[in-house]
Structure 1
Amino acid sequence: MSKLPAPPADGFCAKAWAHTADLQQAIVEHPFNAALTDGTLDRDRFAFYIVQDARYLVGFAQALAAAATRADNAEDAAFLAGASQGALVEERRLHAGYVAEFGLSDAEIAGIGTSPSCLAYTSFLRANALTEAYPVLLAAILPCFWVYQHVGSAILEATGGAEGHPYRAWIQTYADDEFAAAVLTARDLTDRVAEAADDETRQRMLEAFTRATEYEWLFWNSAWIKEEWPTARFLG
């Protein structure tokens, strides 16, 4: 497991993380992640989470692809485009793994509705991709990288390496060196773009980062409660 170095103290990422520090801790300590850590998370909740995550990753990939078209150098564009492709590959892997592990058909998976929180989060990213400036879009995308690496690393450390853990594969996905390197690249890119931006743009970046982090908490919570649309009962 790689521990990420602290971002530059005077950079955007350090300020954004400090601004959301209590929320980041609340995400690590959320009942879903607490149960994931100690291995007691029930399969229905994890299955619900995996389905939502696969659907979320499509919207995340679209936001990354939009960011790639706005990058002002080839290296940044390649990173963002590669991350977009990787998110779609991960979506297919999650779908295949879910079918294999839980023995559900495509029809049964389709029968699990997209949760309000999942739809809200993906809609937020798509809206940023369509309406916001490149720096703000990067800030909206960053929490999905960084929060997952933070949670995965915290769980891996708490489990002493996750050997024999029922969710070991998931934990190692988000706590490994390759993913840590991608997070560091995303952080560095966001810091560079923020440094060149004006104060108003940096404020919008902070608001986007904060809101995306709030959606991260809501996403974990939606899996814990297996969130449904409260209006469904009116629609037959």
Structure 2
Amino acid sequence: MSTLPPPPADGFCARAWSRTAALQQAIVEHPFNAALADATLDRDRFAQYVVQDARYLVGFAQALAAAASRAGDPADAAFLSGAAQGALVEERRLHAGYVEEFGLTAAEVEGVETPPSALGYISYLRACALTEPYPVLVAALLPCFWVYQHVGSTILEATGDLTGHPYRAWIETYADDEFAEAVLAARDLTDRLAAEATGETRDAMFAAFQRATEYEWLFWNSAWEKEEWPTARWRA
């Protein structure tokens, strides 16, 4: 497990994390993550989460690719495009493994409708990619890196031995050193962009970071509640 060093105290990331501290704690303590940590999370809830997260990763990768195309620094463009590839290849491989383990067929996966909260998060990132300045888009993408690493490493630290844990692969993916390096790179990029931005842009960056973090909570809550469209009853 890799424990992240704190971000520079005078940077955007430190302030954004501090201002969302209560929300970050609520995410770690959410019943979905608490049950995942102690291995009592039922398979139906995790299966719904896996299907939705695989779909989310497509939108996340598209937004990362859009950010890469707007990066002025080649190294930043390489990081963002590499993260987009990782979202589509490495993390989806993790999800595919669980889909196979649960015995879900392709037809069953396709038959699961994307619920409002998941669709909202995907749509929000795509909207940021289309309408927001580059620094704001990067700030909106940061929580998916940082919050997942925080949750994974917190669970691993509290759980310790994962032998026989049904969600070991998920926990280790987001708590390992390679993912931590990606989080550090994303934080560094966000801090640099914020340092060069106007006060108005920094305010917009924080609003985007806050909203994306709220969507992180909603995403896990959606799986926990087995969220459905309440309007489905009126469909023709």
Quickly name the TM-score band, shorter chain normalised.
over 0.9
- Shift of residue 90, structure 1, vs aligned partner: 3.5
Tell me: CA distance 1:78–1:99, structure 2 relative to 1, closer, same or farther (3 Å).
same
Match of 2:35 in 1: 35
Query: Cα offset for 1:94?
Result: 4.1
162-171 or 106-115, which deviates more: 162-171
**Which residue of structure 1 aligns with residue 83 of structure 2?**
83
* Aligned pairs, number: 236
Deviation at 1:91, TM superposition (A): 5.4
The match for 1:233 is 233
Q: Does 1:118 align with 2:115?
A: no
| Aligned twin of 2:101 | 101
> What SS does the aligned partner of 2:17 have?
helix
Shift of 1:118: 0.7
Structure 2 residue identity aligned to 1:25: Q
Distance in 2 (alpha carbons) for counterparts of 1:54 and 1:28: 21
Task: Report matched runs for 1:135-146 at 5 Å.
Answer: 135-146=135-146
- So what's the TM-score if we normalise by structure 1? 0.98
RMSD across aligned positions (CA): 1.0
Matched residues in 1 for 2:158 and 2:139: separation?
29
Q: Offset of 1:234 from its aligned partner? A: 1.1
- Aligned-residue sequence identity (percent) comes to 77
Scaled by the length of structure 2, what TM-score is found? 0.98
State which drifts further: 87-96 or 178-187: 87-96
Residue number in structure 2 paired with 1:65? 65
- Aligned residue runs from structure 1 range 217-232, under 5 A: 217-232=217-232
Rounded to whole Å, the distance in 2 between the matches of 1:50 and 1:4 is 26
Superposed CA deviations along residues 47-74 of structure 1, whole A, max 9, x for unmatched, are: 0000000000000000000000111111
Q: How far apart, CA to CA, are the structure 2 residues paired with 1:91 and 1:169? A: 11
- CA deviations on 1:121-143 (whole Å, 9 max, x unpaired) are 01000000000000000000000
Please state how far the C-alpha of 1:164 moved relative to its aligned partner. 2.3
Counterparts of 2:34 and 2:112 in 1: how far apart (Å)? 24
**1:12 aligned onto 2:38:** no
* Residues in 2 aligned to 1:42 and 1:138: alpha-carbon distance in whole angstroms: 34
Kindly provide the CA deviation profile for residues 178-205 of structure 1, in whole angstroms up to 9, marking residues without a partner as x.
0000000000000001000010000000
